Structure 1
Amino acid sequence: MENNKPTTGKVALKYGIILGLIGITFNLMLYFQDLHYQIDMSRIFLALGLGVVLTIIASILGILEFRKANNGFISFPEGLKIGVGATLISGVIGIIFGFVLAHVIDPDMTDKAIEYSTNMMLESGMDPEMVEKQIESQKDPNYVLQIAGGLIFNLFIGFVGTLIPALALKKSEPQY
Structure 2
Amino acid sequence: METSSTPVSTTSVGMRYGLLTGLVSIIFSFGLFAAQMEDSPIKYVGYLVLIGGLIMAMRYYKASNFGFMSYGEGLGIGILVSAVVGALSAIFTYVYMNVIDPDAVSRMTEKVRAGMEEGGKLTDEQIDQSMAMAGKFMNGPFMVVAVVISSVLVGLLLSLVISAFIKHTKPEFE
Interval containing the TM-score (normalised by the shorter chain): 0.7 to 0.9
1:169 aligns to what? 166
Match of 1:34 among 36, 39, 54: 36
CA RMSD of superposed structures (Å): 2.2
Q: Residues 119, 164 of structure 1: CA spacing in aligned structure 2 closer, same or farther, 3 A cutoff?
A: closer
Per-residue deviation, 1:11 = 1.2
| CA distance in 2: counterparts of 1:111 and 1:55, whole angstroms | 28
1:69 aligns to what? 64
Q: Does the aligned pair in 1 maintain the 2:71–2:164 contact within 8 Å?
A: yes
With 24-33 and 77-86 compared, the bigger mean Cα shift is at 24-33
Matches within 5 A, 1:1-176: 4-36=6-38, 39=39, 43=41, 47=43, 49-125=44-120, 126-141=122-137, 143-174=140-171, 175-176=173-174
Q: Does the aligned pair in 2 maintain the 1:20–1:93 contact within 8 Å?
A: yes
Q: Residues 165, 136 of structure 1: CA spacing in aligned structure 2 closer, same or farther, 3 A cutoff?
A: closer
| CA distance in 2: counterparts of 1:88 and 1:59, whole angstroms | 12
With 6-15 and 118-127 compared, the bigger mean Cα shift is at 118-127
Name the TM-score, length of structure 2 as normaliser: 0.83
| CA distance in 2: counterparts of 1:84 and 1:51, whole angstroms | 17
Per-residue deviation, 1:58 = 1.9
Per-residue deviation, 1:96 = 0.4
Q: Does the aligned pair in 2 maintain the 1:83–1:158 contact within 8 Å?
A: yes
Name the TM-score, length of structure 1 as normaliser: 0.82
Per-residue deviation, 1:51 = 4.0
Q: Which letter does structure 2 place at the counterpart of 1:148? A: V
With a CA cutoff of 8 Å and minimum separation of 6, indicate the structure with the bigger relative contact order: 1
Deviations 1:125-147 (A, max 9, x none): 24212211112212333734333
Stretches of structure 2 that go unaligned for 5 or more consecutive residues are: none
Matched residue SS, 1:140: helix
Q: Does the aligned pair in 2 maintain the 1:12–1:83 contact within 8 Å?
A: yes
Q: Residues 52, 110 of structure 1: CA spacing in aligned structure 2 closer, same or farther, 3 A cutoff?
A: closer
Q: Which letter does structure 1 place at the counterpart of 2:131? A: I
Per-residue deviation, 1:87 = 0.8
Stretches of structure 1 that go unaligned for 5 or more consecutive residues are: none
| CA distance in 1: counterparts of 2:170 and 2:106, whole angstroms | 56
| CA distance in 2: counterparts of 1:93 and 1:12, whole angstroms | 14
